[in-house]
A and B are shown apart, each in its own frame.
Chain A
Amino acid sequence: MSLIFKLASRNLFQDKLRFIATIIGIVFSIVLVSVQLGLFLGFQRMVTTMIDHTPADLWIVSLGTKCFEDPSLLDKSDATKALAVPGVTAAVPLLIGFTEWSVPNNGSTPVFVVGTSPNGLYPWHIVQGDLNNLSDARGVAVDQSYFGRLGVNAVGETTTIRDHKVEVKAITKGIRSFTTTPYIFAPLDSAQDYVGVPHNDISYLLVRLAPGTNVAAVRRALMKKLDKVEVLTQAEFRDRSRTFWLFGTGAGAALFGGALLGAIVGTIIIAQTLYSSTKDHLTEFATLRAIGSSSLYIHKVIVSQALLSAVIGFGIAGLIDYTIVRMTTDSALPIVMTPLLMIGLFALTVVMCVSSSASAIVQVMRIDPARVFRQ
């Protein structure tokens, strides 16, 4: 083992109470930062989950649509016009909207209806029932996580939406809404009735293109042919939705603010403990200077101490993060950890710890080596 590392580790472990305080500071800070960023990632995924599962090359949306949940409407006849554009093989209507679901024997609850059409957005992760039965005009698909809210818990159970009788034909797992309002999948015509819009009103047109089609050219042609619409690629609509929910609402700024606060608190805690540890070992550092060690050598000792704290703190924080991720997997807003986020967090931990050592380094560099004669 390198003597620098040995000296750093023994300095660190010598005062066990201070060592524990340092590690708690790092762990607290990293868990706070990772939870905030994990929530950010989770939120980012949740707000585009419908877009991500929609088979479309282009989305035709009302002019100024901000996100998937935007209530703006299009005319269904736009589908016919879109199909007339060369390269377009399908223009599938999709309707979304809020309505009230009658909870059997318990009043009603708001739901978010997704009106599906063949080859359009269909529910995924079916755990009970058959997706084919969803074409039945009364059929709906619900997610099992909302059984309690909806008052149903099996295929075949019935209730009403705006006095229209519905029957659960399929049950999904994990299709949760970040707004906590349950998603209900229903055939398009029925969905229009549930939401209370005329049958020629839809929310989106999902455009499919023939293989090899020039997307930009089709897009231009669609824009020319249709009034008061925008034509977006899947990625553009995803970005627009994310930007709206994360930054238009301030949710993202709040999560980033929390993460930044965690990093600052962590840096201060580590800086304080490193500073006090260095202060306790000033005579030893003065001895090192007296026997001729270079500044770099002393920096290495202090930075090694900081890095060791970083590795131990990150290891423990990682275990806690793993537990939190497992615990929130099925929640309305799961905390998501990606390998890239973990690498970033480790880099942040290292940066935090190393920058924290600056105050200790400055302190040591000010030591008069001649103090060893006075003690």
Chain B
Amino acid sequence: MIAPVIEAVDVVKRLGRGAGQVQALRGVTLNLAPGELTLLMGPSGSGKTTLLSILGCMLRPTSGTVSVCGETTRRAGHGKLARLRRDHVGFVFQSYHLFPTLSALDNVRLALDVRGEQGEPAIARARDMLETVGLSHRKNAFPHAMSGGEQQRVAIARAIVGNPSVILADEPTGALDTENGRAVMSVLANIARDPSRGVLVVTHDPRVMPFANRIIYIEDGRIIGEEAGRAGLAAAE
């Protein structure tokens, strides 16, 4: 059996204090396998983003355990959580969060720079990643001069340039039209074909379902169901 890249067991997360406290997650257990694109779907307020923050080592669970590539986040301080993110996780955000003052190439390079990888090898690697997402011709463009789809693909290049085992994408097609959304999902699906890497996409956009190997449904902080996606079924056939 292939070891999961992320393993969450009975994760509970309470947010806020006192009377305003909210239980965002109520005992979530899930595994993210490498070589798969998994969708996490659910309505607004269902706990998707909180779960993503916990799986991405940005938040610690109130109880339960999370392991990323075999390393637990239990009792991890800010420094260890940052290292886990740096070493194992790549993020793709709905709003891209590119640095407006940096070119596409520098935005991708940044993810290597924070890992201490600099100089010509880092530039070459960033250039390769832009080529992977089909944007080598836009390497000197600044975010404001790129379309939403292009910006999201730069964000994907930034997420994968450090060769992480896990890609977590939060509504990656949320701000894109159908064509750009499909292009972005194709890139993510290709990344998920890598047997050493798992991709988890949080979405409520049904247009992305054909790209999934697996779909997990969450509601009121609980996993309420799971099914194989069309890509998963095709692979099984």
Binding site for B on A (CB under 8 A): 2-4, 6-7, 10-11, 14, 283-284, 287-295, 297, 368-370, 372-375
Contact = CB atoms under 8 A, between A and B. Distances in A.
A375 B109 CA distance: 23
A292 B99 contact: no
Contact of B99 (A4, A287, A370, A372): A287
Given A10-B102, A293-B114, 16 more contacts: A3-B102, A3-B109, A3-B110, A3-B113, A14-B100, A284-B97, A287-B97, A290-B85, A290-B97, A292-B83, A292-B84, A294-B79, A295-B78, A295-B82, A369-B58, A372-B95
Contacts of A289: 82
Given A373-B53, A374-B49, A288 B114 contact: yes
Nearest to A11: B101
A290 B118 contact: no
A72 B100 CA distance: 74
A27 to B, nearest CB: 24
B52 interface: yes
Nearest to A297: B114
**5 tightest A-B CB contacts, nearest first:** A292-B86, A10-B101, A292-B85, A293-B114, A370-B53
Given A291-B111, A292-B87, A7 B79 contact: no
23 contacts: A2-B118, A3-B113, A7-B99, A7-B101, A7-B102, A10-B102, A14-B101, A284-B97, A287-B93, A287-B97, A287-B99, A290-B58, A290-B97, A291-B85, A291-B86, A292-B85, A292-B87, A292-B89, A293-B86, A294-B83, A295-B82, A369-B58, A375-B95
B59 interface: yes
A280 to B, nearest CB: 11
Contacts of A294: 79, 82-83, 86, 114
B97 A293 contact: no
B211 interface: no
A293 B78 CA distance: 11
Contacts of A10: 101-102
Contact of A4 (B52, B82, B113): B113
Contacts of A3: 102, 106, 109-110, 113, 118
A372 B93 contact: yes
Nearest to B48: A373
Contacts of B114: 288, 291-294, 297
B155 to A, nearest CB: 10
A370 B99 CA distance: 17
B115 interface: yes
A300 to B, nearest CB: 10
Contacts of B97: 283-284, 287, 290, 372, 375
Interface in B86-127: 86-87, 89-91, 93-95, 97, 99-102, 106, 109-111, 113-115, 118
Contacts of A2: 118
Given A3-B109, A6-B102, A291-B111, A373 B52 contact: yes
Nearest to A283: B97
A292 B58 CA distance: 9
B158 interface: yes
B218 to A, nearest CB: 15
Nearest to A9: B101
Contacts of B102: 3, 6-7, 10
B52 to A, nearest CB: 6
Contacts of B111: 291
Given A287-B99, A373-B53, A373-B170, A292 B82 contact: yes
Interface in B158-194: 158, 170
Interface in B115-152: 115, 118
Contacts of A293: 82, 86, 114
Interface in B49-70: 49, 52-53, 56, 58-59
Nearest to A8: B101
Nearest to B50: A370
Contacts of A284: 97, 99-100
Contacts of A295: 78-79, 82
Contact of B91 (A4, A14, A290): A290
B187 to A, nearest CB: 18
B91 A291 contact: yes
Contacts of B158: 291
Contacts of B113: 3-4, 297
Contact of B106 (A6, A290, A369, A372): A6
